[in-house]
Amino acid sequence: MHPKVLLDACAELVKRTLTFEHPADAVVSRFFRDNRGLGPRERATLAETAYAVLRQKLRFEHLARSGSGPKERRLAILGFHGPRDFLKSALADQEKTWLDQCDTVTDADLMEPHRHNLPEWLATPLKAQVGADFWALADSLQQNAPLDLRVNALNAKRSEVAAELKKASVKSVATPYSPWGLRIEGKPALTKMDVFARGAIEVQDEGSQLLALLLDAKRGEMVVDFCAGAGGKTLAVGATMRSTGRLYAFDTSAHRLDALKPRLARSGLSNVHPAAIAHERDDRVKRLAGKIDRVLVDAPCSGLGTLRRNPDLKWRQSPQAVQELTAKQTAILESAARLLKPGGRLVYATCSILPEENEAIAAAFTATHADEFEPVDAAELLTQLKVEKAASLCQGPVTGGEYLRMWPHVHATDGFFAAVWTRKG
């Protein structure tokens, strides 16, 4: 594709993503469907350019003020993902001069918001929470996330999958915390490989894998994944149960559960029972009250721990939206807790980095259910499971000690939180 045509396409995609009417990944997918003639390299340039603008929106908007022409074109030039000489061949002389001037700007020349590229309502509580780590966290949130795989322990071994990937010229390293994880370089076409087709691997962030580890579901148990979504954690839990017992995958979205079906077919699991529920007080839920051994509540949340993958969330979320989510999180946790039998385990988790969605929800639940539920120290739990390195995630200056806390700048995972309780009696 001619450089000028590709840059025009980048500008158009940037314009569409910046309306924030739909998630960025959906906007990009729609753009590709509307422009089926695009090759893989052009698609990569388009997507990475749009995501670069979302990641560094405040910085690029600041620099764009000194340029001329349509704003989305200036932003696309600043975020362009590709060789600099290729880009410059698409520019007018005035634009080349402006771009060279932008290249001389350093972090020291910029105000704080143009460096951290976070809305102030998010930057302020993060500074309060992580203190001196703030700039390391802000920088990590502007990076691309690595691609993590979970090896299906039901039918594959991590070392064997790694060797198979290596034969296919896909480099991988074992994840440091999850015993099932592999971190791979680049973005290979995994879906076209036999190792994917036969269900030996699933794409899943290492932090997400650890939630299944914390739940520690056993053979033959009755287990509920209360907010299953597309089922990544459901499949991990099913594998720890060795496809025995009964694992309910509940979600209020039948559409999300539909995405689980092909993954479930590949996995070889026969103990998973997906069920769409109307709300957390659905009759399906009430019928199981007091009968369940373990419940995982991966609650609907702001998703701000996934900003490396979904940078548009920091512009699409708001304090009001977070407030609404915390009310929903509290209600869901209350309903899910009723499912447990005496001695049963409850795990509450989010992929948020905000304390009001995490520690605040967990502390409030502990306080209001002191007679029924006993908090479990996540570090001790992981140590008992002989995952000592993962147990270290529950300690440190930016954790609550008894909770699991994962941070992109410390652990190279998405931001995750988890709290654990046992039902008394």
Q: Which residues are catalytic?
A: 351
Q: 359-368 and 319-337 are packed helices; what angle lies between their axes, rounded to 10 degrees?
A: 40
Residue 166: how many CA atoms within 13 Å on its side-chain side? Answer: 10
- Residue type present at position 31: F
Q: Let me know if 191 is exposed, middle or buried by CB neighbors in 10 A (0-12, 13-18, 19+).
A: exposed
Name the DSSP letter for residue 310.
-
Contact call for residues 235 and 223 (beta carbons, < 8 A): no
Element (DSSP H or E) covering residue 405: strand 404-406
Angle between helix axes 3-17 and 71-79 (nearest 10 degrees) is 110
Q: How far apart are CA 266 and CA 143, in angstroms?
A: 32
Give the DSSP letter of residue 131: G
Please answer whether residues 239 and 154 qualify as being in contact, where contact means their C-beta atoms are separated by less than 8 angstroms: yes
Burial 172-185 (b: 16+ CB within 10 A, else e): beebebbbbbbbbe
